[in-house]
Amino acid sequence: MSLSRRGFLHSFTEGRTTVSGAFLAARGLEAHLAGQQFGKDGRPLGPPGPGEVRISSNENPLGPGKAALDAILGKFPEASRYPFNSTPLDSDLVATIATKYGTKPENVVMGAGSQEILRNSVIEFTSPTLALTTALPTFENPTTLAKSLGHAIHEVKVDSSLRLDVDGMIAAAKDAGLVFFNNPNNPTATVHSLKTVTDLVERVRKASPDTFILIDEAYHDYVTDPSYQTAIPLALATPNVLVSRTFSKAYGMAGMRIGYAVGQAATMKRLAKRKMPYNISTLGVAAAIASLGDQKHIDEERARNTEVRAFTMKALEDLGCKPTASQANFLFVDIHRPAKEFREACAKSNVMVGRDFPPFEKTHARISIGTMDEMQKATEVFRNVLRPAATSAGKQ
């Protein structure tokens, strides 16, 4: 039976108001019966409900571009095939990425999202005696994994402007196994120039030449700061340096789980040892290749996000709640109250914002950027929730 695009999408949206067996299995019957909205880490439980504005996970609210959607629909007949038995092949995606950066396939390793790249880097390059050097706060999954493995960790708190403390991270990198440098940084949304990143790499390499440096550029496509540039050429030119990227953010394919790393062949060879077999899907491969050929979609998404981000920042600033100078598709905002309190108050009005990010969980919240319509609705809720706190803060 043939399946049209409209029919395919309808089949996934029909009946979304009910709770599926898969949801109960994944999240727990007890949680559902108790009406819990959040997990222990503050993430929403289950899929968005009717009318809900979910701005908690830094997703592209519009999803993949037309080229990617057409590729997915066109490859459904091959969904029964492994990515090495379908067209395009997984190796075709590797070759496409290599060509994009003027390098060779041996300089690229694929992952199930950049998450797998980060995990495998921690597993391969750190140990109980070779520390993970990372920021605080930053994307926490490398730290969480290192802790679970009993590996050493050096956490360096962000500076007073909530930017990564580059000098502090360089000092903490001495004899470390891996430096994790998130640029732009999640959750603070701040960015560092290529000059700063190059300086960090050179100084770490000089003081600790065996240390690996992972520069995570998950939010690369949202940056508008002209001082920022990708570190991929730097990684290709420098031993022990790798850059991770993902299709989960601007490309709108978080559910497809496609990411990759780029670096010198020797570095990629070590990373590839930890790679899961068949770690990317047939449909994901087709969508990713199509997306890489659709720069217009990325340019339009960046422009859309920049406009909505500016609108949201001004609305929060008008409430006396100052966000950082965001260069991503989310904001990190001083809300003058605990994030948990803010999150639960917003949830009562069907707006879901981000989880806690220690050590700023008592003062700051992360808010993802949705569509303009979603952010107009969300900022009305923010006005009701934050005005008392903002007024009190102004009297102090």
pLDDT of residue 273: 95
Are 37 and 111 contained in the same domain?
no
CA-based torsion, 119, 254, 355, 396: positive or negative:
positive
The CATH code of the domain that includes 203 is 3.40.640.10
Output the pLDDT for position 387: 81
Q: Which residue bears the tokens 């091959």?
A: 78
| 261 shares a domain with 385 | no
| The pLDDT of residue 236 | 99
Averaged pLDDT, 274-300:
95
Does residue 35 belong to any structural domain of this protein?
yes
Confidence at 346, pLDDT banded by 50, 70, 90: very high
pLDDT at 41: 56
pLDDT of 45 > 70? The answer is no
Say if 151 falls within a structural domain: yes
331 vs 315: CA distance, rounded Å = 12
Mean pLDDT of 39-67: 83
Residue 94 lies in a domain: yes
> Model pTM?
0.87
| 112 in Cβ contact with 280 (< 8 Å) | yes
Report which DSSP code applies to 275. Answer: P
Rounded to whole angstroms, the maximal C-alpha distance in the chain is: 67
At CA 162, angle to CA 169 and CA 139, rounded to 5?
A: 65
Contact (CB, 8 A) for 224 and 258: no
Beta bridge partner(s), residue 246:
259
Q: Which CATH number belongs to the domain containing residue 44 in this structure?
A: 3.90.1150.10
Q: Flag whether pLDDT at 21 surpasses 60.
A: no
Over residues 147-160, the mean pLDDT reads 98
**Domain finish residue from 293, 311, 334:** 293
| Segments of the chain assigned E as strands | 53-54, 108-111, 132-136, 153-157, 178-182, 212-216, 241-246, 259-263, 330-334, 351-352, 364-368
Q: Looking at residue 184, what is its pLDDT?
A: 98
Range of the domain at 228: 67-293
| Residue 89 DSSP symbol | -
Identify which has the larger pLDDT, 389 or 139: 139
Side chain identity, residue 196: T
Q: Do 213 and 81 fall within a single domain?
A: yes
pLDDT band for position 73 (cuts 50, 70, 90)? very high
Residues 116 and 163 in one domain: yes
Shared domain check, 266 and 375: no
pLDDT of residue 13 exceeding 50: no
| Domain limit, last residue, from 271, 293, 315 | 293
Same domain, 282 and 301: no
8: in domain: no
pLDDT the model gives residue 388: 60
Structural domain count, the chain: 2
| 274-279 contact pairs (CB < 8 A, 24+) | 274/119, 274/120, 274/123, 274/124, 275/109, 275/110, 275/111, 275/116, 275/120, 276/112, 276/116, 278/82, 278/83, 278/84, 279/110, 279/111, 279/112, 279/116
